[in-house]
Amino acid sequence: MKDWLILFAAIIAEVIGTMAMKSCEGFTKPIPTLIMAVCYGIAFFCLSIILKTIPVGIAYAIWSGAGIVLIALVGYFVFKQSLDLPAMIGMGMIVAGVLIMNLFSKSVAH
């Protein structure tokens, strides 16, 4: 369970870092740039910890897939960016893939 909480922390840190990247406007705003750097550092640190127990392909697929979906949703709700039907279908397929790996794969450490 601890490993999954660390993976969750990595995902959340990466999403916050990406939100800050949108706000740092090409590294011209110091506070968002600092937030981005710290959050990415936390994300990669957490990801490196879980790679001791979760296979790298599985961990990275979950981390990146969840990050993609969450940041797209943040873009929609926070930054008022539109999501068309193909984008929503694609995100649904990412979520389905992560669920299939977690529920059915013998490669995932439960």
Distance between CA atoms of residues 110 and 106, nearest Å: 9
Does 71 reside within a domain?
A: yes
For residues 64-73, give the mean pLDDT. 94
Does 109 reside within a domain?
A: no
Does 24 reside within a domain?
A: yes
By CB atoms closer than 10 A (0-12, 13-18, 19+), residue 66 is: buried
Q: For the CA atoms of 48, 52, 58, 60, what is the dihedral angle to 10 degrees? A: 10
Give the pLDDT confidence of 3-36 residue by residue, as tens digits.
989 999 999 999 999 999 999 999 999 999 999 9
Does 110 reside within a domain?
A: no
Q: Is the full-model pTM beyond 0.85?
A: yes
Does 90 reside within a domain?
A: yes
Does 22 reside within a domain?
A: yes
For residues 44-48, give the mean pLDDT. 97
Band (pLDDT 50/70/90 cuts) for residue 45 is very high
For residues 41-63, give the mean pLDDT. 93
* Number of domains forming the structure of the chain: 1
Rounded alpha-carbon distances, angstroms, from residue 49 to 26, 30, 56: 30, 29, 11
Q: What is the mean pLDDT of the chain?
A: 93
For residues 68-91, give the mean pLDDT. 95
Tokens of 78: 């926070």
Does 8 reside within a domain?
A: yes
Tell the residue number behind the tokens 């930054």, with chain if given. 79
Distance between CA atoms of residues 67 and 91, nearest Å: 11
Does 98 reside within a domain?
A: yes
Determine the structural domain holding residue 55 and report its residue range.
2-104
- Model pLDDT, residue 6: 97
pLDDT at position 101 over 60? yes
Band (pLDDT 50/70/90 cuts) for residue 105 is confident
